[in-house]
Amino acid sequence: MSNAQLILLDKRNQPVKEYLVAVAASDGLNIKGVEVMASPAKGEKSLLNASIYIPPLEKFDYNPKKLVAESLSKLIIGEETLSIDSFIERCSEDPAVREALTKSITKFSKNLEKLIKEFCVSDVIPLIQESRNDALFKLKTHAKELKGKNIVCLDIEATNISTDPEADIIQVSACDINGKELFNQLINPGYDIPENDKHNITTEMVQGQPTLGQAWDMIHDTLLEADIVLAYSTESDFMYLEKSAEKKMLKFDLDYNTWLDAAELSKDLIGAMRWHSENMYWFFKTPKLTVAYEEVLGKPFPGDAHDALADARATVELFNAMLEKGKQSKVEEKKPKKQQEQITNNPFAALAQLK
C-alpha cells in the first residue's frame, strides 16, 4: 500500500487580479507558482511536478468542472504537455504508487476547482459576457438588414502600411458574399517592390501588369456599385484607395459610410479583453484575420494569408459564419430604461424638454 498523493501547490504571492482574469478568459493562463506535485508520502521528496494551465474560460462557458477536466489533460513539464494519467505513469513504475496517485485525483480536482472558481466569479466576467451578447445582437441585426444586398468584399496588398504617404497598392482583389471572384489584379507601381513581410509580391510578378491608373475604373466602379463594401480593417483599405486617388489625381466617389468592418465585428465577438493602464479602461483587442477565422470557424486558415484574393474570400467566409452565430443566438435588444420626467423652474429648459 502506498501513501502517494497528488497535491496542489499554490505559491502565488497575491490573489487573482482582474487583468489576469481578462487574460484567462480568452487566452488561457499558465499561473506562475501553481503546480501539481506527486508526493510519495508526507515529508518526502516530490516524485514529479507539473505546471497548471487554466484553459480559456469563455471556451468552456466559465464552468469550473469543465475547466478542471481540460486543465488535467494539459499539464505542463518544460515544453511538453501531458494528461494527468501520463503524468502519473511518469511519476513511478510502482503499481501501488500509481494506484494511490490515481485515487487522489478526485481530491486534487476539487482543490483545483476551488482555485479556478476564483477566476469565474470575477467582476470582469459580466463585462465580457455583456460585450459578447451585444456583438451577437449586432450580427443578428446585420443578418436581417443585409439580406439581398450587393456586398463586395475587398482586400489590398501594398508596399507599406496605409499611414505611409509613400505606400503604393500592388494587389487589389474583391469577391462577392459567396466568395466568387469579381477581380484579382496585380498592380505595377512603376518601381522595384521593396521586400516586405506583409506580402509575397515581387517586382517580377508585377511586370506587364497595369498601373493603378489603368485599372482604376474597374476597381472604383465595382466598389461604387456595391451596397456594402466589406473588408477586414476597412480604415486601412479605404485609406489606401483615397490616398492613391489623391496622389495620382484619379476620380474618387466612394463613401466610407457604406463600408462594413469585419475586424470590428470579430473584435467584439472574440477579441481578447485587456486593461489600458494609462487611460484606465477595459478594451478588446482586434484579432488578426487568421486568428479570427480559425477561432470562429474552427478550422485552419485557407491559402496564403498575404494574398489579397485569399484574404477577401476568408473574410467573407468569416463574416458569414459570424452572421450565422448572430442568427442562431437568442439575444434580444436591450429595452431602454424609462427616463424620469425632470422638474425645472427654468422656462427655457422646460421649453427645450417639450421639443
Task: Dump pLDDT digits (tens) for 218-269.
Answer: 999 999 999 999 999 999 999 999 999 999 999 999 999 999 999 999 999 9
pLDDT tens, residue by residue, 167-179: 999 999 999 999 9
- What's the predicted TM-score (pTM) here? 0.84
pLDDT for the residue numbered 114: 96
pLDDT of residue 351: 36
Percent of the chain at pLDDT > 70 equals 93
Cell of 142: 446585420
- Other C-beta atoms closer than 10 Å to the C-beta of 118 total 13
Asked if 8 and 116 count as a contact pair (C-beta separation under 8 A), the reply is: no
| CB of 71 closer than 8 Å to CB of 52 | yes
Instruction: State yes or no: pLDDT of 346 exceeds 90.
Output: no
What is the pLDDT, as a whole number, of residue 354? 37
Q: Report pLDDT for 329.
A: 93
Report the candidate in 52, 59, 163, 186 with the shortest Cα–Cα distance to residue 108. Answer: 52
Count CA within 13 A, CB hemisphere, residue 60: 22
- The reported pLDDT for the residue numbered 14 is 81
CA dist 290 and 278 (Å) reads 29
